[in-house]
A and B are shown apart, each in its own frame.
Chain A
Amino acid sequence: MTQKLRPEDMSREEKQPLVHLDNADLMPLPFPLDGPAKDHTWAQLSLQAKEKYECILDDTCAVNVPQPKSPEEERELVGRFLAGLDKLFTRENNWTFLQPLVLSMEHCARCQTCAAACHIYEASGNAELYRPTYRSEVMRRLYFKYAKHGGLLSAWQHGDIHLNWPLVARLIELSYRCNLCRRCAQTCPIGADNGLVAHELRKLFSQEMGIAPKELHDKGSMLQLEVGSSTGMNPIVVKDNIAFIDDDTTERTGVEVETPWDVEGAEVLLIHNAGEIMAWPENPGAFALVLNAAGIPWTLSSDLAAYDAINYGLWYDDVQLARVAIKHAEAAKKLKVKKIVVGECGHAHKALAVIADRILTGDLNIPRESSMTLLRDIVMSDRLRLDPSRNDFPVTLHDPCNLVRLMGVVEPQREIVQKICPQFREMEPHGVDNYCCGGGSGFAIMSGNNFQDWRFHVAGRKKLQQILTAFSDCLGPETPKYVCAPCSNCKGQIRDMLAYYGLWDKHRILYGGLVELIVNAMVDVRPGYIQWEWH
């Protein structure tokens, strides 16, 4: 049921969630998931989680903040939050985003235009808690009261808020109920950015309080900086795995594939999301085959972090973001490559090509480009012999937000699928108006407690609706269908949702990357690179 919360409800002392969602409350889905009864029942948060962690926001718990043991500890945590809030608004600590943050704090007209653009708000059945401005409004009141030291007049003008530990605990969780897709910001008449507010809150919690989901920090950026990849692969393991992928690709395609490592002076340093190597080996295999066939001098790097394009700092921590981006650039500098090309990973595109553009100065400023454009040039220049009839099945294209709305790489991937997929159909809306897959900002790799239930029912619901609508004319199991998602995290989220709702089993909706479609159409390759089996 939709509950009209107010910002001040975040301070409620009782250790109870502010909202509870049922399937009947959610945005309806089309056939075959039409009707709440056809949806899954939500898994409940375990009693242990409720007793151990601060799970007082909604039906789930993403961050697992331990409950303070005493009022003193609560006060200390609130004090640390306040210290972080101050730092967020100083140039020495937050030169990286100070200007956009201050503008968003000081100029929201609260017109709620952004709400209609938010897939989470819409999918939740317009639950007030997930309204894009709800989180921002809490933050804005804290800003005027504590960072600007506003008095009664300020409270009267901007609204008051009571700061206590329950509010901070809820705000930690609430900063992880936004995909940071910034679709809301795109519609704001003034240019305020609620996605940025969620991003900055995450930074405050991480950089000041050391609080972040373990999937992003301990098992994410820290593991990457420690062993080289968030997958846990060190350079020896990754080389072994790639060698295996080369063998497998050679066997499947009949084309000899060998991945070059650490080639000095190569034109291209390709950096994959290492998750591809572990979960979708056909993707790095296809890249190797295509680049070799196109005659491009390329290499992978086995330096620390340089064989894994992920950069989770993008979602929660500027310092970690900069550290990983620097590792990527240092590897390219060492190999004296002409450019870095980012594989099929949306957030890695944005992190390395866009955001890090103002981190990588001097000789670290090595040109960086998208694999979408490189692949487009290869396909459109007819360097490969392609037979579109090999891809004669319904294909739709998911637009990763980081690649499209936030980087402007829209057409290259379309030109490819339009050329090699005769039954290509767009999702609506698409391009820069796309909807997030629901896995954005780290959610795709976050499955603690029952978080994935929230991720499927709420965050991913709009994308699911789009996929089902795009294939509404061919939903029968006799027609295999392909959701092309040129991004690892999006692919993970779409995989998980299709499995959760049984859409492969019952309706033969498969998912995969873009480069696999290219290899599948290559005349010089054995037919059937795309294997119609669940993986």
Chain B
Amino acid sequence: MTAMVYGVILASILVFVIGSVARAIRYARQPIHLRWELYPVPHADPRRVQHGGSYFEDVDWWTRPKEFNLLGELRFMVPEMLFMKGLWDFNRAMWVRSFPFHFGLYLAIGTVKLLVLVLLLDILAPGLLAGTVGLAVHWVYTITGIAGVILAILGAILLLIRRLTHEDLKTCTTPGDILNLSWFVVAFGCLLMGFLLRAPDSPGAVAMLRAILFFDSSVRIPGLLVVGLILSALLAAYIPFTHMSHFIAKYFTYHAIRWDDRSLRPGDRIEKKLAEYLTYRPTWSARHVGADGAKTWAEVVTRNPAEARKK
């Protein structure tokens, strides 16, 4: 039974990783689209980012060196990723609810990563984390873990209330949305209560992690914590198959769309890809398009439908 619980947890994490990677690959393999950027583009020349300008503001812009200011991107990305600055700027009422939820998740995920690191150190260099250092680390992951779970639960409850009561959100809320948020509340609620109500002689977080990773059934994990761990793991496995995987999408919507201001240069990678796309054979049916599944895009767009109309 214990081994099965461990198996479910580890398999769920594997599904999460594979699902997330598969989704990212699916998006990455989609064709380079026509340009569709939105300004400001933060990697532009810093003098322009302030007002949202682009290299198009220069006469003979194509004769000037390409602009790419990584610091500018980071200046935008870090507050966005950590503090959801966009939501703060444009939808403060939602930020109040969404930020604790997401920041709680960051803390919880950070806690798991820290636990993995501690376990690794414990295996590779036993005794390194003994004494005061070990105690400090213990308190760090205990505090971040508890704070993260509490914040995530609080945020999820607030988001759920908003979804169910606010006129603007109610009309497009689906049962799936309610399930998603409720799942977070229940799973993290079990984790929190299971941890807080555990018996004094219960194993510590690192010991539990070791037990899960090494299928050690001798470690007795409290029942409520087991339920919380399984629900959380299943939730993780479910996320890549829902819109909640926007942490993957956001890379593409920003870097590949909103900020993709790369201009076409002769012989570059984009031009080579475009040459491939122009050999695709569209099947759009409207008469003016003139596609028949045999003509390529290049043939279709170099044909003038008005010539036929004249005849």
Residues of A within 8 A of B (CB): 4-7, 80, 83-84, 87, 91-93, 95-100, 102-104, 106-113, 115-117, 128, 131, 133, 137, 156-159, 182, 185-193, 196, 206-210, 217, 222-223, 225-226, 318-320, 322-323, 326, 339, 353-355, 357-362, 365, 367, 369-370, 373-374, 376-377, 404-412, 431-432
Contacts and interface: CB of A to CB of B under 8 A. Distances in A.
B301 A326 contact: yes
B254 A226 contact: no
B288 to A, nearest CB: 7
Contacts of B281: 92
A110 B169 contact: yes
Contact of A405 (B38, B44, B91): B38
Contacts of B203: none
Nearest to B245: A107
B44 A408 contact: yes
B44 A225 contact: no
Given A91-B31, A115-B168, A354 B37 contact: yes
A116 B91 contact: yes
Contacts of B172: 6-7, 110, 133, 137, 159
A407 B306 contact: no
A414 B242 CA distance: 45
B264 A4 contact: no
Interface string B227-271: 000000000000000110110011011101110010110100011
A226 B310 CA distance: 7
Interface in B283-311: 283-289, 291, 297, 300-306, 309-310
Nearest to A86: B283
Q: A-B pairs with the 10 shortest C-beta distances?
A: A408-B54, A191-B253, A157-B176, A432-B52, A226-B306, A95-B31, A322-B301, A210-B286, A113-B91, A99-B30
Interface stretch (B56-64, B116-124, B126-134, B189-197): B56-64
8 contacts: A106-B249, A113-B90, A156-B174, A187-B89, A190-B250, A193-B253, A323-B303, A407-B56
B264 A365 contact: yes
Given A99-B33, A358-B34, A365-B266, A91 B280 contact: yes
B62 A367 contact: yes
Interface residues of B, number: 89
B250 A112 contact: no
B257 A100 contact: yes
Given A226-B306, A369-B56, 13 more contacts: A5-B171, A7-B172, A87-B283, A156-B174, A157-B242, A222-B288, A326-B301, A339-B60, A405-B39, A406-B38, A408-B44, A412-B57, A432-B40
A95 B284 contact: no
Given A182-B38, A320-B288, A99 B59 contact: no
B268 to A, nearest CB: 10
Contacts of B297: 95
Contacts of A411: 48, 51, 53, 57
B58 A87 contact: no
B208 interface: no
Contacts of A84: 284-285
Contacts of A374: 59
A255 to B, nearest CB: 24
A411 B47 CA distance: 11
B70 interface: no
B204 interface: no
A430 to B, nearest CB: 10
Given A408-B52, A409-B56, A361 B271 contact: yes
Contact of B283 (A93, A358, A409, A410): A93
Contacts of A362: 266, 271
Interface of B: 27, 30-41, 44, 48, 51-62, 84, 86-87, 89-91, 94, 98, 167-169, 171-177, 179, 242-243, 245-246, 249-250, 252-254, 256-258, 261, 263-264, 266, 270-271, 274-275, 277-278, 280-289, 291, 297, 300-306, 309-310
Given A4-B171, A225-B304, A370 B280 contact: no
B57 A117 contact: no
A360 B264 contact: yes
Given A110-B173, A112-B168, A319-B284, A358 B264 contact: yes
A110 B90 contact: no
Contact of A191 (B30, B257, B261, B275): B257
Contacts of A115: 168
Contacts of B168: 112, 115, 131
A361 B302 CA distance: 13
B231 to A, nearest CB: 18
Contacts of A186: 38
Contacts of A326: 301-302
B275 to A, nearest CB: 7
Contact of B39 (A102, A103, A137, A408): A408
A107 B34 contact: no
Nearest to A370: B56
Contact of A207 (B84, B286, B303): B286
A169 B105 CA distance: 43
Nearest to B261: A408
Q: Which residue, B31, B175, B266, B309, has most C-beta atoms of chain A within 10 A?
A: B31
A97 B36 contact: yes
Nearest to A355: B34
A233 B304 CA distance: 18
B54 A367 contact: no
Contacts of A116: 90-91
A208 B284 contact: yes
Contacts of B289: 207, 319
A508 to B, nearest CB: 31
Contact of B171 (A128, A188, A320): A128
Contacts of B167: 4
Nearest to B244: A109
Contacts of A208: 284-286
Given A157-B176, A404-B52, A113 B282 contact: no
A526 B40 CA distance: 40
B52 A410 contact: yes
Nearest to B55: A408
| Residue of A116, A131, A189, A367 contacting most chain B CB atoms (<10 Å) | A189
Contacts of A190: 246, 249-250, 253
A377 B35 CA distance: 27
Contacts of A188: 86
Nearest to A97: B33
Contacts of A320: 288
A161 to B, nearest CB: 11
B250 A191 contact: yes
